[in-house]
Amino acid sequence: MDADAIAVKPTTNVPQETLDYFRGDELQARVFYDKYALRTPEGEVVERTPQQMWRRIARELASVEDEFGRLLTVVLDRTAARFFEVTSGHVIIAGPTTIASIPPFAYEDRTICEIRSANHPAEVLAWFPDRVIYVGGGPPVWATYAPFIRHWDITRLPYDGEADRWFDPAWLVASEKPG
């Protein structure tokens, strides 16, 4: 049987885990389960929730090879899992490009807020009093928010390709400057 035929073959029973994810909405659950959930070549469903699907997609997009041609998915997988673990229950602020890269499941247990250059950092931080706030983005965002950051959590990945990976050591002491 051809893989496309398997992917669209309607199912008779949507698992409870899938229904629960969609808060009982059977139509949404069925569309996800029948059209988007990953299946084995034999047609067995491997993913029961969009969260599992997005993690797989993120893993694939983040897979890179080291100088020996080995995939570094394990390191990236652990890094992504750790990120979602530590930000759970907290706030993530970031620019539009970074926000667009956040998978839908992440919106379930954290506050995610898109920021723009017109937003003054003190105002943005005041939107979330008494909350832990994670600042995502690249060098322009980090430079703007550096005076307000009390803790830097820098992830080092064994990757030497195109990415925002520049870090100004002056940012580490920016919060000590009056202003």
Q: How many structural domains comprise the chain?
A: 2
Tokens 């893989």 -> residue? 3
> pLDDT, tens digit, for every residue of 80-109?
778 888 899 999 999 888 888 788 888 989
- Per the structure block, which two tokens stand in for 63? 């897979």
Q: What is the reported pTM? A: 0.54
Most confident of 7-21, 92-106, 122-136: 122-136
Q: Are residues 43 and 92 in the same domain?
A: no
Angstrom distance (rounded) from CA 117 to CA 93: 12
State which residues form the domain around 21: 3-48
Angstrom distance (rounded) from CA 179 to CA 170: 15
- Greater model confidence, 1 or 160: 160
* Phi and psi torsions of 50, nearest 5°: -60, -30
For residue 161, being part of any structural domain is answered with yes
For residue 64, being part of any structural domain is answered with no
Write down the pLDDT at residue 72.
56
Judge whether residue 165 has pLDDT over 60. Answer: no
- What lies within 8 Å, CB to CB, of 62 at 6+ separation is 73, 76, 77, 80
